[in-house]
Amino acid sequence: MAEKPVDNATSNTQQRARALRDMLLDALHAMSSMDEVAELQQTGSTEKAPDGVLDRIASLTGSALRLGARATDTSLRVGRALINSQDQLRAMLTAGQSLKDIREVAGLTLSEMSEALNLKDKTLLEAIENGTATLSFELILRLASLVARNDPIPFILRTTRNYNPEVWQLLNDWGVGRIPLQFEREREFINIFRRHDDARTLSDEGFRKVLDFTRQSFEMSLHFIEQQEQELAEQKARLSSNTDATPAHGKAGKSVR
């Protein structure tokens, strides 16, 4: 039987959704790293560091401009809204007012927020707040780092849904609800590396060997555990099926004299 041809459109959609998911995860990791630096400063762990070095690092990582290595001027392009739907217009107006409220509560002026986001067009945020400009997904992530650090996921998802329905649909179809779980799993995996300072002293060749071995071990373990979980699921399904098929035993009836 001939294999079913790959749907290029579906493949491209999945790749785009995966890229957006990875960008969102990168943003969450950057926010978490900023929080870790701030925590070190508050706990007094800066004593062993050279004078001012953590302050300089914090000033770099604390800027919304550094919220992802992928940032470029191109990625910050924000298009003027061409509204084809009254529903979307209303959603953008509501989102713009919400963003204005958040900015004012934070005590930031339009100019200050524009500077924090490294926006060359100082009138851009004003247009967004008025509902006449749209936000790129990356700029939404940068805004989240600035005004929603403590709880970024709801802000990101709500704003994306209002400004980028297509992006929202891609993320939603991909399973955006699992993003927090994926983030926690990635952090655990990253921390394995961070706990081994010796890995930082390896040569490039040595590190590549460790990386190749780790990749092979991970893939082998993943395959083994997937098989285990599949067999366990099948056993549970059979047990449940047998239980449902077993007739219930009623109480014995009274004997007739």
Measure the CA–CA gap between 148 and 249, rounded to whole angstroms.
58
Q: Where are the domains of the chain?
A: 9-175, 196-241
C-alpha distances in Å from residue 10, one per residue of 6, 51, 98: 8, 53, 35
Lowest-pLDDT choice from 48-57, 64-73, 204-213: 64-73
pLDDT tens, position by position, 126-140 = 888 888 887 788 888
Percent of the residues in the chain that have a pLDDT greater than 70, as a whole number: 72
Percent of the residues in the chain that have a pLDDT greater than 90, as a whole number: 14
Q: What is the pLDDT of residue 37?
A: 66
Mean pLDDT of the chain: 75
Q: What is the pLDDT of residue 74?
A: 37
Of the ranges 64-78, 125-139, 171-185, 200-214, which is most confident? 200-214
pLDDT tens, position by position, 86-115 = 676 777 778 788 888 888 888 888 888 888
Measure the CA–CA gap between 248 and 250, rounded to whole angstroms.
6
Q: Which amino acid is at 94?
A: T
**28 pLDDT exceeds 50?**
yes
pTM: 0.58
Measure the CA–CA gap between 130 and 128, rounded to whole angstroms.
5
Q: Residue 75 — very low, low, confident or very high, per pLDDT cuts 50/70/90?
A: very low
Q: Residue 76 — very low, low, confident or very high, per pLDDT cuts 50/70/90?
A: very low
Of 253 and 176, the one with more pLDDT: 176
- Buried-exposed string 76-112: b where 16+ CB fall within 10 A, e elsewhere: bebeebeeeeeebeebbeebbeebbebbeeeebebee
